[in-house]
Amino acid sequence: MDTEEKKTFIINSVIYETFFDRDAEKALITPCASVDTNAEMTLIGCLKVDNHELIPSFRVCLSKGNSTFRLKPVKIIRPLPSPHLYRMELFFSSDGLNYHTESSEISIVF
């Protein structure tokens, strides 16, 4: 019988670093995540903003234990003039079949 332990991961936190460039009328948003794993693994996933996939299929190689990583920033050009909540959905999977979703809402006001 195979006694190999199943590879698992736990998302500790996801934050979104934001930078506003009012002159260029754009916002840069960088997703950052902290993850615990019980073994070396590669996570795959994507980022959707308001249900639009803005970071398609990324891969992150993780060592056993706690890892923190940043994804490439996304640009929101000419955000809506009135306050608007943008829904951020970050999808993670270690096997490409079962996904874990972290959702947040970010307010961008110009």
Task: Give the domain CATH number at 102.
Answer: 2.60.40.10
Q: What percent of the chain is predicted at pLDDT more than 90?
A: 54
pLDDT in tens, 10-60: 999 999 999 988 787 888 999 999 999 999 999 999 999 988 888 788 999
pLDDT in tens, 59-103: 999 999 999 999 999 988 876 667 778 899 999 999 888 899 999
3 within some domain: no
**Closest C-alpha among 61, 44, 33, 46 to residue 95:** 44
Question: Whole domain around residue 57: which residue ranges?
Answer: 9-108
2 within some domain: no
13 within some domain: yes
Q: What is the pTM of this model?
A: 0.81
45 within some domain: yes
99 within some domain: yes
The count of structural domains within the chain is 1
27 within some domain: yes
1 within some domain: no
53 within some domain: yes
Residues 6+ apart with CB under 8 A from 1: none
For residues 35 and 61, the answer to whether their CB atoms sit within 8 Å is: no
**Closest C-alpha among 4, 18, 7 to residue 105:** 18
